[in-house]
Structure 1
Amino acid sequence: MRRIPLLPTLIVLAAVAVMIALGIWQLRRADEKAALLARYERAMTLPPIEYPANPRDDSSLFRRSAGLCLTVEGMMARAGSNQAGETGYRHVAECRAGGGDAPVMAVDIGWSRKPDSPKWRGGPVTGVIGPDPKHRIALVSDVAAPGLEASAKPDIRNIPNNHLGYAFQWFFFATAALIIYALALRRRLVALDANQG
């Protein structure tokens, strides 16, 4: 009598169910990311705003903005490009934009080929708010600090929306797992029939 092994079958079916669920989740994420990118595209056409008081809030991304860097508390160099697309270093100043416990305002003050920190003492800045790995957002200045070139402007095309590809991968893995298990099961059943015959 042919018997399908219960435990391995349950394990494979459970794994396939998880993969399908992950694929469906990625499809939802693709829709969410598309809506987010549409919101960012609209933000580029809105009037300028003052630099946000809560820099951890990324709802202001891709808006034109202005701020006042009262004091520079730190400077860091990060990989980046200039407006011509050349690679080098973006220089991001950590500014105090108010007294006391006011949050840090991150300002991309320009680009250079070398990571050496420029001497910049702050002042008024206008530009576009872009994503920043440490501060979540940073004001990318329209005008580079002395000795630097302007950094590349924030571009929504640099924000990937590859969730659809991930969804198809999970569905492919689920299909492949079912096919491989079915072939292994068939081979096992053929071998059992041959042993019994």
Structure 2
Amino acid sequence: MSHPCGARVSRFTAPLLFGLIGAGILVALGTWQMQRLDEKLGILAQIESRISGPPEPLPVVVSPADQKYQPVALQGEILPAEIRILVSRKQVGAGYLIVSPFRTKDRLILLDRGFTRAENKDAARTSGPAEVVGNLHWPDDRNSATPENDVDANIWFARDIAAMAEQLGTEPLLVVARKIDPQDPDIEPMPVDTAGIPNDHLQYAITWYSLAVVWLGMTAYYISRQRKTGET
């Protein structure tokens, strides 16, 4: 004759194991996200260090993988032409990034001068001799939802370097300014930083850990209900 306590324990074994294994998997996923967070923070620190490092000469041979965020200090001339990239800033609203050709020595490159408000779209810009401190950048502005640039109306929706270089007759090389002297009063430099690089690993980890707690809670509730049912 089987003992009732042994039967009760046997009946709870499967849901208990199911709950513990499921919670263990969720905790492992959360821990993996925390490891990814540490890796991402290290990468972001390296990028920040690269951005703020000492200026280097413009590269002769362009290698975006090696030269992204390379700091540069240039002397030259801002030419009058411009491309306007439609963007939106939090707490400011719509406006445009202004990209102009910049001549430095015997080279002509693209210069992202920064943000101007929508009402300044057609304002006269300062041009002529200038000193620029900034970073080389190959922005990833375009995705499947990005409209095609309206070149005729000079309304662009992404900083497409090859197309901008062809339009302005420059090298396909973009410098995003941190500082321009003299600075156009209607343009605010928008230097490259790590703010736009996704880093959601902490949120993911919290989600997995929270699910593990819920999973254990549901397991405990189920076993409790089963126990009460068996006692009645």
TM-score where L is the length of structure 2: 0.54
* Maintained 8 Å contact 1:78/1:89: yes
User: In structure 2, how many angstroms separate the alpha carbons of the residues matched to 1:94 and 1:193?
Assistant: 80
Output the amino acid matched with 1:128: G
Aligned equivalent of 1:101: none
Between stretches 179-188 and 43-52, larger displacement belongs to 43-52
Residue from 45, 50, 53 that aligns with 2:58? 50
* Maintained 8 Å contact 1:118/1:147: no
RMSD across aligned C-alpha pairs, in angstroms? 4.7
**Within the alignment, does 1:192 sit opposite 2:199 as a pair?**
no
**Within the alignment, does 1:91 sit opposite 2:129 as a pair?**
no
Aligned equivalent of 1:100: none
The 3 A distance-change label for structure 1 pair 108 and 179 is same
Aligned equivalent of 2:114: 110
* Maintained 8 Å contact 2:33/2:201: yes
The 3 A distance-change label for structure 1 pair 172 and 47 is same
**Within the alignment, does 1:149 sit opposite 2:156 as a pair?**
no
Count of residue pairs the alignment pairs up: 182
Residue from 76, 85, 106 that aligns with 1:76? 85
What is the Cα deviation at residue 166 of structure 1?
A: 3.3
User: In structure 2, how many angstroms separate the alpha carbons of the residues matched to 1:90 and 1:73?
Assistant: 11
TM-score where L is the length of structure 1: 0.62
Residue from 9, 31, 35 that aligns with 1:24? 31
Between stretches 138-147 and 26-35, larger displacement belongs to 138-147
Gaps of 5+ in 2: 1-6, 102-108, 142-158, 162-173
What is the Cα deviation at residue 178 of structure 1?
A: 0.9
Gaps of 5+ in 1: 96-104
What is the Cα deviation at residue 88 of structure 1?
A: 4.2
What is the Cα deviation at residue 42 of structure 1?
A: 2.1
Aligned equivalent of 2:156: none
Give 4+ residue runs of structure 1 displaced > 6 Å after superposition.
Answer: 67-70, 117-121, 144-147
- Greater C-alpha Rg: 2
